Chain A
Amino acid sequence: GESVGLHLPTLSVQEGDNSIINCAYSNSASDYFIWYKQESGKGPQFIIDIRSNMDKRQGQRVTVLLNKTVKHLSLQIAATQPGDSAVYFCAEKTAGGFKTIFGAGTRLFVKA
């Protein structure tokens, strides 16, 4: 069945450095992709999304890149801060569908 997976379960970066979190997806029919951030004791929170007709989308300090050829999604965080420490989930949907499929998550540690 469809699945969304992550290459690395944990990532440790120095404060101020850029972070890159990767994600692979397997469903070619997926056309909407989302990144969520989950801080300790909270539910996941939307960060940024991208539709399949785009390759790149930028937000505040975050950029999502989509490579449909190899079914790869990445989240880039610029100038990583201690407040960015969290678990990050990539997720996918298909147009008209109700189900969002989540990856296993990557835990980001930010070292001061």
Chain B
Amino acid sequence: DVKVTQSSRYLVKRTGEKVFLECVQDMDHENMFWYRQDPGLGLRLIYFSYDVKMKEKGDIPEGYSVSREKKERFSLILESASTNQTSMYLCASSSDRGSGNEKLFFGSGTQLSVL
């Protein structure tokens, strides 16, 4: 089975801190994604990556950056955490070979609270 592992289940940080959220997948997937999930808003795409060292902005990239130095690892970075970044963060991967029909495999999520 595909496994997407997020390094922390819960995180509590202070406003202004730099925050790293780590995600690792073990299925050699080309594509990796970071979503945030807020009640009533569904899942919103922050950033994604379709190859090592490649990154693309999603729908809500402001205040975030990403890093993909290795194929299996995709990191989300909050340069200066703010209270409105309190949310559930979900990492996902997919093996999309151009057909557009590949499903996402999600990690269990990181609940981040910024105080």
Interface residues of A (CB under 8 A from B): 4, 9, 31-32, 34, 36, 41-46, 49, 51, 89, 93-100, 102-105
B11 within 8 A of A: no
Interface of A is mostly: loop
| Residues A104 and B41 in contact, CB atoms below 8 Å apart | yes
| Residues B100 and A95 in contact, CB atoms below 8 Å apart | yes
Interface size on B, residues (CB 8 A): 29
| Residues B108 and A105 in contact, CB atoms below 8 Å apart | no
Residue from B40, B56, B106 within 8 A of A43 (CB atoms):
B106
| Residues B43 and A32 in contact, CB atoms below 8 Å apart | no
Given contacts A43-B4, A49-B103, contact A99 B45 (CB under 8 A): yes
CA distance A59 to B91 in the complex (A): 26
A-B contact pairs, 10 of them (CB 8 A): A43-B90, A43-B108, A45-B106, A93-B101, A95-B101, A96-B100, A99-B59, A100-B45, A102-B43, A104-B41
CA distance A42 to B45 in the complex (A): 18
Given contacts A43-B4, A49-B101, contact A102 B42 (CB under 8 A): yes
| Residues B106 and A44 in contact, CB atoms below 8 Å apart | yes
| Residues A98 and B106 in contact, CB atoms below 8 Å apart | no
